[in-house]
Structure 1
Amino acid sequence: MEFLQSIVLGVLQGLTEFLPISSSAHLAIFPKFLGWEDPGAAYTAVVQIGTEIAVVLYFWRDIWTIGSGWVRGLFSAEARQEPEWRMGWFVIVGSLPIVAIGLLLEDMIDDNFRNLWVIGTTLIVLGVVLGIAERVGRNARPIEDLAWGHAVLLGLAQAAAVVPGVSRSGATISMGLFLGYERAAATRYAFLLAIPAVVGAGVYKLKDIPGGDNAYGWGPTLVGTVVSFAVGMAVIHWLLKWVSTRSYAPFVVYRIALGSLVLILLGCGVIGAEVAIDG
């Protein structure tokens, strides 16, 4: 039964990681709906590694270009004039806020934030934010226009995703739209910016898989991670095509509807608010 549940959650993770609807919220909400035990913060962090491996493989050319250009810039003044050098630093600097906040608030993230009242509310609030960003954003700047100030703001936006329900991609994309970046450019950068943070969090949480804050053992967790990778590859390809011609409006509606449903069920006493399990 644990393997079946982990497969289902792996599919859910793969479907929701890249859409601006919060994968961590879904991994907290749907076990409640299905009467399953909460998979735990450690399971959630580790299974996300699967989807980030999908990002690495899908964008390997971009990552190689940026990484090799950044390394060359360490030794060559000429290479430091290239856009790859700046982009490498933008990803590094943009990753620092979520790392710092994640370490400082680790206990709150694992316990206090994993509460359906919090998750339902953040789904709605960030849904409204994304909707406003979609409406007021100029959808004009290419990613090549990225500057230091914007890189910091995008990093701070991503850091808000330590609260389940916010969504790393949703927060980063919203900020990108507010700053006037093209929808596809903001989405692509959000994927690249998430790699250090998600992989780092997943590796850090590996220690908690045997026992600890994880409802499953190594076997089911690894299966869920593999499933999330496979589904994630397909979702990345689909989403990048979608945003090139269409808006984020359906995701705004979905976030608000799901958040409202969660709050209504909580208010009626149909489900309980606590989702964290004891380590």
Structure 2
Amino acid sequence: METWQLLILALIQGITEFLPISSSAHLILPAQLLGWADQGLAFDVAVHLGTLSAVLLYFRNDLFQIARDWTLNSVGKAPSTLHSRQGWMLIWATIPAVVFGGIVSVTGLDDAMRSIAVIAATTLIFGALLGFADRRPNLTQPLEKLTLKQAMIIGFAQALAIIPGTSRSGITITVGLMLGLTREAASRFSFLLSIPIIVAATTLVTLKLVTSDVSVDWMAMFSGIVVAGISAYLCVHFFLAFINRIGMMPFVIYRMLLGLVLLGVLFV
């Protein structure tokens, strides 16, 4: 692909990675509508590194406290704290997605599901579920009150995001809202929960890149990291700043329109 095309896709990935609108649905549109070539493994590594850098930087204070208290509690046998409990929640909630993702990858189902029909259906279905969850009363539970059971339920929901178009952030936020979390609490836990998954995905794709004979345009890759990282950081910042005021309905409406566009691409 041309460098400018990669940068546009990096911008799309950075913006859509953490919004509940499905990055996979957006990345397939340029190829289908404009005939762009496949972006390749190097691009996948670049954008994953960019979005990972963004979320690590944004939640650096939270992550430091979680890592510190979890280590002291697990190794040093220090008393349990809020942050050490959050560390265990993130670990246990990540396991379902890792197991399910591994099974899908080994069986080759991930490639089979990357179709416009699947993405259009999941965009519409899970968009409607997000709208239903956002309209429920009593969305009052703060993140500090999240239980291990609730975290595991969100973790099992995250495993569904292996299906293209579902949106990892969308499904985890949806289930968080259904459990009674505030919009901000559901979103913050969703973003924190993304970190181990992005690390795993980046590692897997990097191994594929290293073992392949694909040539790498290092300047384009570096540019992709920067563009995806900056756009993802700004996206997370403004999303958390305004989500309690605007709610999820703008994203629900957008998903409905996007799903219809994908159906149009499929049948026209």
Aligning the two structures, in what range does the TM-score lie when normalised by the shorter sequence?
over 0.9
Cα distance in 1 for residues equivalent to 2:79 and 2:15: 38
Cα distance in 2 for residues equivalent to 1:232 and 1:16: 8
Q: C-alpha displacement at 1:31, in angstroms?
A: 2.6
Cα distance in 1 for residues equivalent to 2:90 and 2:237: 22
Report the counterpart of residue 5 of structure 2 in structure 1: 5
Report the counterpart of residue 250 of structure 2 in structure 1: 250
1:188-223 CA-partner distances (Å, limit 9, x unpaired): 110000100112111111133369698x83433442
Alpha carbons 2:41, 2:209 under 8 Å: kept: no
Cα distance in 2 for residues equivalent to 1:16 and 1:96: 24
SS at match of 2:138: coil
Letter in 2 for 1:164: P
Cα distance in 1 for residues equivalent to 2:110 and 2:100: 13
1:140-175 CA-partner distances (Å, limit 9, x unpaired): 001111112111101011111111111111010000
Rate the CA distance shift 1:128–1:95 in 2: closer, same or farther, 3 A: same
1:72-91 CA-partner distances (Å, limit 9, x unpaired): 002344422x1111100000
Alpha carbons 1:157, 1:171 under 8 Å: kept: yes
SS at match of 1:165: coil
Percent of pairs with identical residues: 38
Cα distance in 1 for residues equivalent to 2:171 and 2:83: 24
Report the counterpart of residue 83 of structure 2 in structure 1: 84
Alpha carbons 1:17, 1:23 under 8 Å: kept: yes
Report the counterpart of residue 52 of structure 1 in structure 2: 52
Task: Report the count of equivalent residues.
Answer: 266
Matches within 5 A, 1:169-180: 169-180=169-180
Report the counterpart of residue 200 of structure 1 in structure 2: 200
Matches within 5 A, 1:195-274: 195-209=195-209, 217-219=216-218, 220-268=220-268
When the two chains are superposed, the root-mean-square deviation of aligned CA atoms in Å is 2.1
Report the counterpart of residue 123 of structure 2 in structure 1: 123
SS at match of 2:108: helix
Q: Does 1:69 align with 2:78?
A: no
Alpha carbons 1:210, 1:217 under 8 Å: kept: no
Rate the CA distance shift 1:133–1:221 in 2: closer, same or farther, 3 A: same
Q: C-alpha displacement at 1:236, in angstroms?
A: 1.0
Matches within 5 A, 1:109-148: 110-148=110-148
Report the counterpart of residue 37 of structure 1 in structure 2: 37
Q: Mean Cα displacement is larger for which, 229-238 or 219-228? A: 219-228
Cα distance in 1 for residues equivalent to 2:28 and 2:48: 14
Cα distance in 1 for residues equivalent to 2:110 and 2:78: 45
Cα distance in 2 for residues equivalent to 1:77 and 1:57: 28
The unaligned stretches of length 5 or more in structure 2 are none
Q: C-alpha displacement at 1:45, in angstroms?
A: 5.9
The alignment's TM-score, normalised by the length of structure 1, stands at 0.89
Q: Mean Cα displacement is larger for which, 220-229 or 244-253? A: 220-229
Cα distance in 2 for residues equivalent to 1:97 and 1:46: 25
Q: C-alpha displacement at 1:235, in angstroms?
A: 0.9
